[in-house]
Structure 1
């Protein structure tokens, strides 16, 4: 082990057992209340942000179900409301504040209602101070590093009636063997690592999620094996930078090795992952995507900007040329790869020439889809202090031009699939129809088609007969 290497450890079994004791205590409390009130205690969780937040909320839900709570769709009918927050963009924070304000009326009419706020926003001291001062009806405030302590925090509020704030600056430990309640049965998020070491100059994530911490291969393999037994067909491995998996573990662990190990698990049909950082995309990982039969031919590789100058200012640690070289290598090894990316428009100091270089990269890389964002200033990041902020009008103009280019590329790529048969994992009914079913190809393209309930969870062949920019339509091949 190299000198100074930070090694990730597990939260002790004693600490996990302590939380289970609180779970039992609250379960008994809720049973007693239910006997008197004639109804079970109910919870609602509202999640803001990324897939990792979604997965965190599934873990919160798992603990609550063990404590005797049942999920409630209607906020006003809940006995416990949790907001799991995001702070990547300012509008996400403003939404949370708006929702918190609206809860004041509910608290006034139901003094027994417990309100909790957790997640990334809570890792910012100024946010905690603001909530404590302005939203005094909030009962529990906790962060990203101690989600597993929800039973203890909830027990404290129930037994004392006092507000609880428990936010940790950072941690080198991971809590395993806590309950989880997943929203979907066919697909599942599996977090393989937490935190980030990259410190991109626009990003708040390393400050609120902490340093990189990898789960052990055995724990991940165990979780995926259990999912397979439960009938799950597709897993998506999550991490702020999954390519860094294993660097903090003792032994020879890499993300490519993890993919190869999970590829052996029977029952799982598809494996996806996100997000990859270009600076850590190794040849071995490219080969693993190519060689593993269950790993889907889809790579989400955020470029953020096509200008090497802006990339340096962003602290991305690669150049435009290096990035395009990676794209060429990926396409050479995996010709049918589906490529997606993230792009920030209007980063401080971005000139018209810088933006044109982004358009050039988009044209050359030929992404199936790009997730495009206007730069959002995040207090506490180096980019927020940059005096050369781009005006909103310029940002919006560039955003529209980028969107127009990407839409034309997406439509052209989809046109190549007209008349082709594609393999689709059927996920369920489309949102807007009782007869149209939806699923995704291995390249992560959405496909809609007429089907029946017995197809859910199965791999089917669909012949594409209608092309749209963001999705495909087709008919089932018998």
Structure 2
């Protein structure tokens, strides 16, 4: 009898890679993958457990999918990922709809878990976080065929006071260069043009395995892989941005001049309370080096407002820093007290209304910066990775735009059926806060 399986992936790109490995193993085990939840005999939710809103989304998704036990074909509902790792036994006790839980280290055992659950067993695969990703697990790509995420490390060894990831994912563990290169080569041979390297901290790559920062060396090896057009870096901790990495980004054409550099804040006291090393002077010097040495660099950052004890003056210092540095891209987040973290019990927790007000002020400032940057691109030519077409317009992304989090380029051109994944040149005619409007240059 044919067994169908569907996977819902929540949270970050790192979790998405796990979901693709789950899908690949189930397909290799003889299951038929379906994107339609009502058709699946087995439903798996790969959850996020990073902050309270993510946990709430995970629980709501579990409850939503549980409806297909009575309205669809679902016989088994499994919960995997970060929420299962942290609260697996509680989920099983409080949500009878769930037929099993798989922690973050159970990805290689997913087929076994599904078969057991189908036979009536309440599966509890909870143990040490993380797993060996270098053993050639099959992978079914869930992203568009021209773009793929590649996880270069698992876990995190930083001790940021607001973050529970080390408890959920374990300490930092780099994959070997050979394994990453082999995976990228296989993806490129299958048509992937854009490879996006992810880890909880990509710039720490290699320290545990080779005794030194090796991201620059890895990038140069990947830049030599035939078929790869763009290499993109996400989640780069500022402590690991070495001169070798900056030089590699400046010299290797395939490496996008794009750096995702989550800084969280600029005030020295707040950074100290967050468990982050460095201060405003170090951060400014780093940004100056990056901008001076990498032509056309697009900088993305993540910033937290409303951290416990943040004064109006400290928040204003952050706003002034944003205006000074003028990040092309920025994500603003309200502090969320995460259970089990030091920051959750710090004195001076701010009211939600104040955090919301500061969030909107910071967002408004960043939107103006983003608009001014985009307006400066009018009249310029940009390379665009075509993603699709709606009616009479194509859309895609530049080297300065990561999927999901950044803007798009919408452009007109001859109706010649450009395939998704094509690289074209577009002249920018108009600009908004996030998106660019242009015309194809033949």
Distance in 2 (CA, whole Å) between partners of 1:230 and 1:392 is 47
Residues 473 and 111 (structure 1 numbering): CA distance in 2 closer, same or farther, change over 3 Å?
closer
Query: Does structure 1 retain, via aligned residues, the 8 Å contact 2:99–2:123?
Result: yes
Equivalence map 1:14-413=2 (5 Å) = 33-34=1-2, 41-108=3-70, 113-124=75-86, 127-159=87-119, 161-171=120-130, 173-183=132-142, 184-250=144-210, 254-413=214-373
Query: Does structure 1 retain, via aligned residues, the 8 Å contact 2:156–2:171?
Result: yes
Deviates more, 1:417-426 or 1:170-179: 170-179
Distance in 2 (CA, whole Å) between partners of 1:44 and 1:189 is 20
Distance in 2 (CA, whole Å) between partners of 1:378 and 1:156 is 33
Deviates more, 1:66-75 or 1:285-294: 66-75
2:404 corresponding residue in structure 1: none
Distance in 1 (CA, whole Å) between partners of 2:393 and 2:26 is 34
Deviates more, 1:102-111 or 1:50-59: 102-111
Please list the CA deviations of residues 229-256 of structure 1 after superposition, one character each: whole Å capped at 9, or x if unmatched.
1121110011110111011214666011
Residues 113 and 212 (structure 1 numbering): CA distance in 2 closer, same or farther, change over 3 Å?
same
Q: Secondary structure at the match of 1:297?
A: strand
**1:279 Cα shift?**
1.4
Equivalent pairs counted in the alignment come to 434
Q: Secondary structure at the match of 2:89?
A: helix
Deviates more, 1:181-190 or 1:100-109: 100-109
Q: Secondary structure at the match of 1:248?
A: helix
Please list the CA deviations of residues 113-159 of structure 1 after superposition, one character each: whole Å capped at 9, or x if unmatched.
111101111121xx223211121221120111220110121222234
Query: Does structure 1 retain, via aligned residues, the 8 Å contact 2:174–2:208?
Result: yes
Residue 439 (1) aligns with residue 401 (2): no
**1:175 Cα shift?**
4.7
Please list the CA deviations of residues 51-90 of structure 1 after superposition, one character each: whole Å capped at 9, or x if unmatched.
1111111111111222233332332221111111111121
**1:449 Cα shift?**
1.2
Please list the CA deviations of residues 236-286 of structure 1 after superposition, one character each: whole Å capped at 9, or x if unmatched.
011110111011214666011101111111110110011100111111111
Query: Does structure 1 retain, via aligned residues, the 8 Å contact 2:130–2:169?
Result: no
For structure 1, the residue ranges without an aligned partner over 5 or more in a row are 1-32, 35-40
Query: Does structure 2 retain, via aligned residues, the 8 Å contact 1:278–1:318?
Result: no
Residue 475 (1) aligns with residue 439 (2): yes
Residues 115 and 469 (structure 1 numbering): CA distance in 2 closer, same or farther, change over 3 Å?
same
Query: Does structure 2 retain, via aligned residues, the 8 Å contact 1:100–1:135?
Result: no
Normalised by the length of structure 1, the TM-score is 0.87
1:462 corresponding residue in structure 2: 426
Query: Does structure 2 retain, via aligned residues, the 8 Å contact 1:172–1:213?
Result: no
For structure 2, the residue ranges without an aligned partner over 5 or more in a row are 402-406
Residues 171 and 412 (structure 1 numbering): CA distance in 2 closer, same or farther, change over 3 Å?
closer
Distance in 2 (CA, whole Å) between partners of 1:291 and 1:68 is 45
**1:390 Cα shift?**
0.8
1:416 to 362, 365, 376: 376
Query: Does structure 2 retain, via aligned residues, the 8 Å contact 1:195–1:206?
Result: yes
Normalised by the length of structure 2, the TM-score is 0.94
Please provide the CA RMSD for this pair.
1.7
Q: Find the structure with the greater CA-based Rg.
A: 1
**1:306 Cα shift?**
1.7
